[in-house]
Structure 1
Amino acid sequence: MSKNHLIALFWILLLPAILSAQGLDTTKIDEVLGRPGQKSGDVYRVGFPRTDLHVKVGDVEVRPGLALGSWAAFSGNDEHAMVMGDLVLLEKEVNPVMLKLRAANFDITAVHNHVLDETPQILYMHYLGHGPVVELAKSLRAALSVSQTPLGKPAPAQPSEPAAFVKTVEATLGAKGTWNGGVLGFGIPRAEPITEDGITLTTPQGVAEAINFQEAGPGKIATTGDFVLIASEVNPVISALEAHDIQVTALHMHMLTENPRLFFMHFWSVGSPDVVAQGIKAALEKIHTK
């Protein structure tokens, strides 16, 4: 083999690693989607809160950050990217959005509820796409455009003092949450690695125990989210939640080819901060987290 052939072979073998190391040019994603995201390691996550919706569960007005946040998590590099996420949709929006995503060769991995007895009814569409990052972002925006999801550049978040319940919940769970938009959120990673299509996933890609809290009237908070579970954890977690009057609102999958097989359990409860937090803590003790 000639020297030139050896050099060419060297670059052919090395180029994928170089491209992967370069990661994503996130400015291209921002330009297409019309808003900035947040970088966490090698993942770039962009949120689309449904601030246009006024959803109630019983007497509780659900804040966008509690359970109404569409999102997209990009990884890979500019030419070979992956995007996965979750879209918050009204019933009438589901099929128009699905048609757009499927036309762009996105996989639809789940469509279902997360909460119960909400008005109006909300459905959640999980999806997965592969391809050049700009094309993925364009396809996602086109799909969102056939819903009523606000796509304009969001106003800067106004900082606010954490509510009084935050200290109680954080002390009970033994973890520090994130306070944003009147919602206290936690993302607690599982202990074992999780892969999808052979790619290791991280917390921003929807594989952490996601737990959110907001005020729900004098002396009360509401909590919802999803526990990410392996099969052997499902029923012990149900029992822990039931013992603390926390309602299980859904149990299903979000992905198609993940390893290990995961089950996502959604929940809802309204009560005093200490009682609600103790119930969440009891459930977390049944899960193999870091």
Structure 2
Amino acid sequence: MSENRQQDTSARAVTPRRRLLTAAALVPLLAGAGASAAHAGTSRRTAPHHPGRRDQPGRQDEPHHPGHPDPVRPVPTTVADWSDVMKALGLPGSMVRDEYIHARAPRNDLHVVSYDVKVSSGLALGSHVAFVRYEDGSTLAMGDVTVTEGELQQVSDTLQSHGIAQTALHKHLLAHSPDVWWIHVHAHGHDPVAIARGLRAALDRTGTPPVKPGRPPTKPLDLDARQLDAVLGTKGSNDGGLYKAVFHRRETVIDNGMLMPKGLGASTAFNFQPLGGGKAALNGDFVMVAEEVQNVLKALRRGGISLVELHNHGLTEEPRLFFTHFWAVGNAVELAKALRSALDVTNVVPGGGGGGGDL
């Protein structure tokens, strides 16, 4: 019994000493964690986000991304740098601000009608993809593949077999015939030619016609572009007879540790197809962060614009981005006024017309 009491006393004496040693060992670790947290908190300039007008003071261009304090950055390239990739893709490409190359494949083979409007390829029917080179030698590719419902499953299987991710499956149009779907694609790796071959194989599972190099013929724009520019607060473009306007998110967008070039995967795009007499068919999409979504949807509906889809294009981007596709037919200027009301509650800046606005 005396021996047991001595063991109990010894154990009680050891326990406080162990606690003291454990606490002492944690002190430098906790101090280091605090220093690291402080460093992370100051590694990138932050500013509060204030939904409202685009010209509102206090808007932020580079919000804090705790998971990626030092993202991999894109490097400038030229058309010549992408010659092998474009050859494998089988499409002509054009540079956007020397930051990425963009290629389009219009679905001129499709004759789609939505609400008695014959939809042109420039309004809503076309595949497109962008390629970006990064400082670590890798390449990011992203875009949309436009498919009929009969093509959808084979194209999906082909993309998957080539390691190309599908990050969204959605529609740009409401009631329309024939049924058309859009697959948002995403690929990242060190072999851009292989990525291009995979995309080409997917396009070959569709009826997409060959695209001739060179600029398409210029068509007159049967809309008052100056008035549309004034309402929207940007300089739109005549893209094959359609009026197009693009806006980019102000924030820095990071996708899986990769810094996105301005506008890539984060654009609001408006397409106006003239119908005569100042009327137009309107199609496009808004890019939004979560707190902007409801205000944009309400503004569009107040302006008589129909909602088509609310979805994501990416899986890992920061900040998290949401997209809504829309549709309307009416006086082009009045539709532009409704769009402007929705623009004013998003954190965007004018990005011009055409180009990377497809993304």
TM-score (norm 1): 0.88
> What are the Cα deviations for residues 64-90 of structure 1, in whole angstroms up to 9, with x where unaligned?
111112111101169621111111110
Please, which moves more after superposition, 192-201 or 100-109?
A: 192-201
* Within-5 A mapping of 1:69-80: 69-76=126-133, 80=138
| Aligned 8 A contact 1:67 1:224 in 2 | yes
| Aligned 8 A contact 1:210 1:226 in 2 | yes
Task: Please name the residue that 1:38 is paired with.
Answer: 94
Secondary structure of the residue aligned to 1:95 is helix
| Aligned 8 A contact 2:281 2:330 in 1 | yes
What is the CA distance between 1:207 and its match in structure 2?
A: 1.3
What is the CA distance between 1:206 and its match in structure 2?
A: 3.0
After superposition, the Cα gap between the structure-2 partners of 1:148 and 1:155, relative to the gap in structure 1 and judged at 3 Å, is: farther
Secondary structure of the residue aligned to 2:219 is coil
| Aligned 8 A contact 1:81 1:130 in 2 | yes
Matched length: 275
User: Which of 235, 238, 246 lines up with 1:187 in the alignment?
Assistant: 246
What is the CA distance between 1:186 and its match in structure 2?
A: 1.4
After superposition, the Cα gap between the structure-2 partners of 1:189 and 1:200, relative to the gap in structure 1 and judged at 3 Å, is: same
After superposition, the Cα gap between the structure-2 partners of 1:33 and 1:96, relative to the gap in structure 1 and judged at 3 Å, is: same
| Aligned 8 A contact 1:208 1:228 in 2 | yes
User: Which of 216, 229, 232 lines up with 1:157 in the alignment?
Assistant: 216
> What are the Cα deviations for residues 24-67 of structure 1, in whole angstroms up to 9, with x where unaligned?
82111222223311111321111011111111111211111111
| Aligned 8 A contact 2:91 2:105 in 1 | no
| Aligned 8 A contact 1:58 1:117 in 2 | yes
Task: Please name the residue that 2:146 is paired with.
Answer: 88
Distance 1:278 1:144 in 2: 37
> Which residue identity does 1:115 align to in structure 2?
L
After superposition, the Cα gap between the structure-2 partners of 1:21 and 1:277, relative to the gap in structure 1 and judged at 3 Å, is: closer
TM-score (norm 2): 0.72
What is the CA distance between 1:204 and its match in structure 2?
A: 5.6
Distance 2:213 2:79 in 1: 26
User: Which of 110, 113, 122 lines up with 1:56 in the alignment?
Assistant: 113
Distance 1:126 1:199 in 2: 18
Distance 2:89 2:210 in 1: 8
Residue 208 in structure 1 maps to residue 267 in structure 2: yes
> What are the Cα deviations for residues 217-246 of structure 1, in whole angstroms up to 9, with x where unaligned?
433111111100011101101111111101
Residue 97 in structure 1 maps to residue 155 in structure 2: yes
| Aligned 8 A contact 1:23 1:76 in 2 | no
After superposition, the Cα gap between the structure-2 partners of 1:239 and 1:142, relative to the gap in structure 1 and judged at 3 Å, is: same
After superposition, the Cα gap between the structure-2 partners of 1:217 and 1:20, relative to the gap in structure 1 and judged at 3 Å, is: closer
What is the CA distance between 1:158 and its match in structure 2?
A: 0.7
> Which residue identity does 2:300 align to in structure 1?
L
> Which residue identity does 2:86 align to in structure 1?
D
| Aligned 8 A contact 2:105 2:211 in 1 | no
Distance 1:165 1:22 in 2: 35
> What are the Cα deviations for residues 87-134 of structure 1, in whole angstroms up to 9, with x where unaligned?
111011111111111111111111111210011111110111122111
User: Which of 315, 320, 325 lines up with 1:266 in the alignment?
Assistant: 325
Between the aligned residues of both structures, percent identity stands at 36
What is the CA distance between 1:199 and its match in structure 2?
A: 1.4
| Aligned 8 A contact 2:223 2:332 in 1 | no
Distance 2:120 2:263 in 1: 20
After superposition, the Cα gap between the structure-2 partners of 1:80 and 1:260, relative to the gap in structure 1 and judged at 3 Å, is: same
| Aligned 8 A contact 1:85 1:205 in 2 | no
Unpaired runs of 5+ in structure 2?
A: 1-71, 350-359
Secondary structure of the residue aligned to 1:278 is helix
Task: Please name the residue that 1:106 is paired with.
Answer: 164
Distance 2:281 2:78 in 1: 42
Unpaired runs of 5+ in structure 1?
A: 1-15
| Aligned 8 A contact 1:187 1:203 in 2 | no
Please, which moves more after superposition, 94-103 or 165-174?
A: 165-174
Distance 2:326 2:94 in 1: 27
Residue 278 in structure 1 maps to residue 337 in structure 2: yes
Secondary structure of the residue aligned to 2:103 is strand
Residue 229 in structure 1 maps to residue 288 in structure 2: yes
> What are the Cα deviations for residues 167-206 of structure 1, in whole angstroms up to 9, with x where unaligned?
2211211111121112111120111111212212235633
